[in-house]
Amino acid sequence: MTKKTIKWTPDTTYPVGKGATEQRFTATVGDDELEIDTHPWGDAELKIDGKTVAHVEGDKSAGDAFRDIEEAAEKFEAEKDKISTPED
């Protein structure tokens, strides 16, 4: 996991509530623009700088899918940190 928590911001231009079929969350970590799209049927997608890097499906809810894909984002950023700051 990253040393710092990624601060996700909901995209308020997307509809919310019971009928919403997609919710989008964005974050910036260093030079990376991260985006998570979740769906109520348990799917989520992670994009970094506009490129899809992870996808989950079949979770019980959008919340579960968000947590799973958020973990993928944290792992990605942690691995990137390791590469950019090698240990002696």
Q: Where are the domains of the chain?
A: 9-82
pLDDT at 84: 67
Share of the chain above pLDDT 70, in %: 90
pLDDT at 5: 83
Q: How far apart are CA 85 and CA 88, in angstroms?
A: 9
CA-closest candidate to residue 36, choices 12, 11, 16: 11
pLDDT per residue as tens digits for the range 61-81: 999 999 999 999 999 988 887
Measured in degrees and rounded to the nearest 5, phi and psi for residue 84 equal -80, -20
Measured in degrees and rounded to the nearest 5, phi and psi for residue 75 equal -65, -45
pLDDT per residue as tens digits for the range 17-33: 777 789 999 999 999 99
pLDDT at 57: 96
pLDDT at 79: 86
Q: For the residues 12-21, what does the mean pLDDT come to?
A: 80
Q: How far apart are CA 46 and CA 87, in angstroms?
A: 28
